[in-house]
Amino acid sequence: MDTVIGIKDLRLSLETHFFNKIDPIIKSLRKKYDFLSEYEHRKDIEFYSLICHAININGHDTIKTIVERVNKNLNTDVAISIYLHQSTVFNITCLPRNTKDSGELLIFVSQHFFNNLNEDEQVAIIGHEVSHHLLAHLDFPTREIVAYPFERKEINSLKSDLLAWSKACEITADVIGLVANGFITRHIPLQL
């Protein structure tokens, strides 16, 4: 019988350590400050700007193959929509759209995603972005919290802990991207 490893088991232990430190502080700061309303407004503007200038490419055979590989190797059924947008630099943006009808993950890729990467690299990147969604990495707007002018006594080491957590999240997402590609734990089924 195969050993079953869940996606959450692949989470870097430092990620969990720093999350346990920052989560209660952020929850208490949310009660006192309205530092997320402007962020949420900017995210909505960013989303509508991206969606207005992008093309849904889910019907493309390459995209179908990438999404199937990611969901199969991660043993998940995440609803993923991939959009192509023009950019002068390599750019990928991941935005969950949670509505009463769906919990779809929208991933915006620049043309460089196709021009400069092979299929294995594309799968790893999409798996990386899906892991941010599955592990709720997108719930903390790291940049906004770090930039917000909190009073010194309230912030203590939150900013450095938040940056350390964010770095650990990226490492976790890289590992899961490799799993999504089948490069790691190919013969061990994964569960959420």
pLDDT digits (tens, 9 = 90+) for 82-133: 999 988 888 888 887 765 455 789 999 999 999 999 999 999 999 999 999 8
User: What does pTM read for this prediction?
Assistant: 0.85
Predicted local confidence at residue 44, as pLDDT: 81
| pLDDT confidence band for 8 (50 / 70 / 90) | confident
Strands 92-98 and 103-110: antiparallel
Count of domains forming the chain: 1
CB 171 within 8 A of CB 131: no
pLDDT digits (tens, 9 = 90+) for 132-182: 988 989 887 888 888 888 777 767 788 889 999 999 999 999 999 999 988
131 Cβ neighbours under 8 A, 6+ residues apart: 7, 74, 137, 172, 173, 176, 177, 180
| pLDDT confidence band for 36 (50 / 70 / 90) | confident
Predicted local confidence at residue 157, as pLDDT: 82
144 Cβ neighbours under 8 A, 6+ residues apart: 35, 36, 38, 39
| pLDDT confidence band for 45 (50 / 70 / 90) | confident
Predicted local confidence at residue 100, as pLDDT: 47
Taking the C-alpha atoms of residue 164 and residue 18, their distance in angstroms, rounded to an integer, is 7
Range of the domain at 127: 5-191
> Could you tell me the two tokens for 134?
């599955």
**What phi, psi does 149 have (nearest 5°)?**
-85, 70
> Could you tell me the two tokens for 149?
């002018």
pLDDT for residue 20 is more than 90: yes
Predicted local confidence at residue 149, as pLDDT: 80
**Three-state SS at 5:** strand
